[in-house]
Structure 1
Amino acid sequence: MGSQVLRRSIAPAVGVTAGATVAVGGGAFGISSYFARQLVTPVVPVDDAPLLEVGSDHVVFENTAESIAPGRYGLWQNGFETHARLGEVLGIDAGRVTRRLDGVDFGVLEVGHARFNSYYFCGPPATSLPVSLAEVTLDTPVGGMPAWVDRMPGSDRWAVLVHGRGAQRGETLRAVPVLHELGISSVIPCYRNDIGAPQGPDRRYHLGLTEWADVESAVLYAASCGAREVLLFGWSMGGATVLQLLDRSWIADLVDRVVLDSPVVSWPPVLDFHAGENKLPRLISTAGGRLLRSPLRHAFAGLDEPVDIRETDWVRRSDELSRPMLLIHSAVDEFVPYAPSAALAAARPDLVLLETWDVARHCRGWNVDPDRWERLVGEFCA
């Protein structure tokens, strides 16, 4: 999920709209509608990390919050033509950051602009993931949906891995080797409005409130392959999607346990958090949330049907949960606030195990400490 994208897109609206006549409330409404629209509009990837030098075993970036972050990361360039894997920071000097280059999966990495991501493994055609993936097509309410599968012969335990808003399937691949070692098969679906996937009727995100039906098709696929038990994994908005599936799907009884990484367990605090980050009053995020479910939703957010984020508040609805759940979340997450995960764990200590990271950015716990991440997930799923 792209925090920088959301912040960049909101900032101009604040400046322009706040400068308008606010006496009749037009300025506040304009900001609220822009705020809401950006949340549900699919993200356009932008290469925004200046790459200054490319060597055989290292790369040099401008000094930014992303380029100095500890851990291992992926790097895209020229849209999705080139993907590289980056290792630890080797040095910082005079505004330049040198990182280890672990390999280029495909394409040609060149001086220019690129963009960081948490997908150290990006999937086919890359071969760096130590597990082979097959490509299948799932039958979903919006059409044939691409998915990757790691099928373990004779396995009746399956995992469905769900990526976050504006992300891709590669975000989830860090879990596949752990599951593979445990003999658990994996299916990794796209969902509506992903790049290369069918679009929803209004071409907007519904924050998990319709995407769950696409993920349900992945659970049905697992069942058709002999799954007697399914584990659901969700990253960021994928967490919100997984929780909606548990609430709404007729096949949810097949789900045994849940692993959520940097999850949205309640959308209202996420909106409030970003209003605060942009120095906006809470009434802006509150009004934006109301707009998403109001009769004005199509005119101002492009939504064909209501998106009622109150239904995503699993802190308030915690007594409805019934599956063991592992939450992995960074206390300094810059996109999805940590507090709701902590509140959910406090509300349901009988079901929810919260594991906290102290330095990782959003969805980057594995990147910072893969050994800990894999150990926790392995023990929980074993």
Structure 2
Amino acid sequence: MNASRRAATSGASPRYAGALHAAIALLGISLGVVVTAIGAISVRVARRVVTPADRVTDTRIVDLDTSAQTVTLTRNADTELPGRYGLFTSGTLPYVKLGSVLSEDQGTVKRKLLTHVDSGAHLSPDAAFSGWYYDRPEDLQLPFRNELVGSPLGPCPAWIFPAEVDSDLWVVQVHGRGTTRAEALRAVPLFHSLGYTSMLVSYRNDGEGPRSRTGTYALGATEWRDVDAAIGHARRLGARRVVVMGWSMGGAIALQVELNSPHQDVLVGLILDSPVVDWRVVLQYQARQLRLPAPVTGMALGALGSEWAAPVARTGGAIPFDRLDGVARASELHHPILLLHSDDDGFVPSDASHDLAAARPDLVEMHTFTVARHTKLWNYDQERWSQAITEWLRRRGLTVEGEDAGN
């Protein structure tokens, strides 16, 4: 019995060991496949963060009534907002201005057209809802001129809207990720009424400024140099007090200007609309919105912040998240900051803005909105947005006396 059992055991042992080794090998291969898949997805996510992309369609035109001059859109958190907006589409017109909501149901929203659309017009159903409102400088009916700003990479086109009366007050407007300088046109009339010359700038890889070797964003880490060149250009044209206003990623760029610019003596303040203050907070939030697994998010951030991953992520170099963290570097700030952010932003969470205001209450004043969504504060509540900026500037003596704030 013992000999028989030993024989059976000795015969089963090699088979068991072989099966175990095969299972371990299979598990190792499976884990390798999973890790490789997570790595590949993470690299794709990392590339998406830094790669300039075409405008994403986020709504559809369900009905166009040219007799009533109305358009019906599929309903979402943006298209149902009160206020004035814009709509990018294709066909007869590439862009139309939208007015107030006239009616709505569970799935659609009907809005007034503020751009006249002829009866024979055809608009593509696919459309992108926008907070721009103005899409061309001519829409403002204010004098302006085109300029080229010499930046480290090459010429950056800019629009300059001169003040009505000669003044040393300038505002340099910095647009956000995936947009162009037209995003800031809606701010020009207010600053014009307060005696400012407005300069709307482009920067590397935004589709108007020069292209870097990789053609990708550095999330503010290099783009600030182009904005700093614009401040130098403004200085040569007579600017002695410069406010930098940044929208979304433009806020991250503006903060880097504040932290790094050699033109500290002419900078007098920052105004940040829906700004990126800490990229890690933003990217983690967006990853959760997309329901990305935590390992993918972690590896994507690691790839973006690593030199070794730069060739595959096409970043051109590690993204310096620590240097781009405005909260961590709050003690290095010198000039007053006005923060305007909606707690219902939906794209760039307001958490880091609140943290920055708490870290530097001596410098930072924050106005919190609700409902207004991302970079649509002007559209949603133009009066409050204008009043917040006007009062903040006037308290600091940064307006031309006798000018009334306009809308």
Could you tell me the TM-score, scaled by structure 2's length? 0.83
Find the aligned partners of 2:56 and 2:353 in 1 and give their Cα distance.
Answer: 30
- Of 40, 49, 59, 2:50 maps to 40
- Residue 359 of structure 1 pairs with residue 374 of structure 2: no
Aligned to 1:50: 60
- C-alpha deviation, 1:331, in angstroms: 0.5
- C-alpha deviation, 1:36, in angstroms: 1.2
Task: Work out whether residues 268 and 310 of structure 1, in 8 Å CA contact, stay in contact via their aligned partners in 2.
Answer: no
Q: 5 Å matches for 1:153-232? A: 153-232=165-244
Task: Work out whether residues 57 and 128 of structure 2, in 8 Å CA contact, stay in contact via their aligned partners in 1.
Answer: yes
- What are structure 2's unaligned runs of at least 5 residues? 1-28, 395-407
Greater displacement, 229-238 / 307-316: 307-316
Aligned to 1:134: 145
Instruction: Give the partner amino acid of 1:72.
Output: R
CA 1:372–1:22: 2 relative to 1, 3 Å: farther
Highest CA radius of gyration, 1 or 2?
2
Aligned to 1:333: 345
Instruction: Give the partner amino acid of 2:55.
Output: P
Instruction: Give the partner amino acid of 2:265.
Output: D
Instruction: Give the partner amino acid of 2:123.
Output: E
1:287 alignment partner, SS class: helix
Aligned to 2:7: none
1:312 alignment partner, SS class: coil
Aligned to 2:113: 101
CA 1:133–1:77: 2 relative to 1, 3 Å: farther
Task: Work out whether residues 33 and 288 of structure 1, in 8 Å CA contact, stay in contact via their aligned partners in 2.
Answer: yes
Instruction: Give the partner amino acid of 1:59.
Output: V
Greater displacement, 309-318 / 77-86: 77-86
Task: Work out whether residues 71 and 367 of structure 1, in 8 Å CA contact, stay in contact via their aligned partners in 2.
Answer: yes
- What are structure 1's unaligned runs of at least 5 residues? 1-19
Instruction: Give the partner amino acid of 1:238.
Output: G
Aligned to 2:19: none
Instruction: Give the partner amino acid of 2:125.
Output: G
- C-alpha deviation, 1:140, in angstroms: 1.1
- Of 309, 316, 338, 2:321 maps to 309
Task: Work out whether residues 85 and 379 of structure 2, in 8 Å CA contact, stay in contact via their aligned partners in 1.
Answer: yes
Find the aligned partners of 1:38 and 1:171 in 2 and give their Cα distance.
Answer: 21
Find the aligned partners of 1:240 and 1:373 in 2 and give their Cα distance.
Answer: 20
The C-alpha deviation readout for 1:65-124, integer Å capped at 9, x for no partner, is 332222211111229962211011100146332101112599x66252221111011123
CA 1:334–1:299: 2 relative to 1, 3 Å: same
Q: 5 Å matches for 1:267-306? A: 267-306=279-318
Find the aligned partners of 1:144 and 1:154 in 2 and give their Cα distance.
Answer: 26
Greater displacement, 77-86 / 25-34: 77-86
CA 1:315–1:104: 2 relative to 1, 3 Å: farther
- Residue 28 of structure 1 pairs with residue 41 of structure 2: no
Aligned to 1:17: none
CA 1:305–1:98: 2 relative to 1, 3 Å: same
Find the aligned partners of 2:50 and 2:288 in 1 and give their Cα distance.
Answer: 19
Instruction: Give the partner amino acid of 2:381.
Output: D
Find the aligned partners of 1:215 and 1:206 in 2 and give their Cα distance.
Answer: 14
Greater displacement, 163-172 / 246-255: 246-255
Greater displacement, 358-367 / 245-254: 245-254
Aligned to 2:87: 75
Aligned to 1:4: none
CA 1:320–1:49: 2 relative to 1, 3 Å: same
- Residue 262 of structure 1 pairs with residue 274 of structure 2: yes
Query: Could you list the runs of 4 or more consecutive aligned residues of structure 1 that deviate by over 6 angstroms after TM superposition?
Result: none
Find the aligned partners of 2:290 and 2:62 in 1 and give their Cα distance.
Answer: 30
- Residue 324 of structure 1 pairs with residue 301 of structure 2: no
- C-alpha deviation, 1:269, in angstroms: 0.7
- C-alpha deviation, 1:211, in angstroms: 0.5
- C-alpha deviation, 1:128, in angstroms: 3.0
Aligned to 2:131: 118
Task: Work out whether residues 131 and 176 of structure 1, in 8 Å CA contact, stay in contact via their aligned partners in 2.
Answer: no
Instruction: Give the partner amino acid of 1:150.
Output: F
CA 1:300–1:111: 2 relative to 1, 3 Å: closer
Instruction: Give the partner amino acid of 1:301.
Output: A
- C-alpha deviation, 1:298, in angstroms: 3.0
Task: Work out whether residues 303 and 310 of structure 2, in 8 Å CA contact, stay in contact via their aligned partners in 1.
Answer: no
Could you tell me the TM-score, scaled by structure 1's length? 0.88
